[in-house]
Amino acid sequence: MALSEKQILKIKVEFEAGKLSRSAIGKRYKVSQPTIRKLAEQGNWAYGKNFKKVSEAVELKSIEKLIGKEVDKTTKINDDLLANITFVENIAKAYLHELAMNKKNKEKQTKEDADRIFSFLKPLKIASETFNMNYSNKRKAFGMDREDELKRSAPYVDPTEGLTESDIDAKLADFQ
């Protein structure tokens, strides 16, 4: 049986790649080893000539695949963290709204109210800052954004909004 040019080209690629043994190439293409030797001599093929190039290409594909998996995993972690931050943020907003309504209704703000709200705001601030640092570092590592674009897109939430001056001073005194 005569080999087509396409079959000969496939055999040449396998032969010069050097990934398969000569007998494995013969079995794959149903060709005897003497035929492969004859084709190699006629075409001046060198067994394993492209081994390094093929290995580098395979390694590059493997690295790209691993990076893709890491990006997917990181994206999921970031999405979950963002959902949790949003949940806590919504709770904090509800407390701030309640505090604002109390102020509107001329109800006196109690230290317990301030402590309760602060107990939600502090972890929210820490979680938000951690998320932002983690997220921006990963984006920077993957070359996705310039730092100034990130700073412009980050929303600012005033953690003291709705608190009285005395409550703020009391909270600051707790940290000193």
Identify the pLDDT of residue 149: 55
Identify the pLDDT of residue 150: 47
Please indicate, yes or no, whether the overall pTM of this predicted structure exceeds 0.95: no
Mean pLDDT along residues 19-29: 88
Domain coordinates in residue numbering, the chain: 5-43, 64-175
Inform me whether the pLDDT recorded for 5 exceeds 50.
yes
List phi, psi (to 5°) of 69: -65, -40
Identify the pLDDT of residue 116: 76
Identify the pLDDT of residue 162: 66
Mean pLDDT along residues 46-56: 82
Residue 78 near residue 131 (C-beta atoms within 8 A):
yes
Residue 155: pLDDT band with limits 50, 70, 90: low
Could you give the percent of the chain with pLDDT greater than 90?
4
Q: CB atoms < 10 A from the CB of 98, how many? A: 14
Inform me whether the pLDDT recorded for 151 exceeds 80.
no
Identify the pLDDT of residue 64: 79
Per the prediction, the chain carries an average pLDDT of: 76
Identify the pLDDT of residue 16: 86
Identify the pLDDT of residue 68: 78
Mean pLDDT along residues 130-140: 73
Which has the closest alpha carbon to 40: 62, 22, 27, 58?
22
Residue 158: pLDDT band with limits 50, 70, 90: low
Mean pLDDT along residues 111-115: 78
Mean pLDDT along residues 85-90: 77
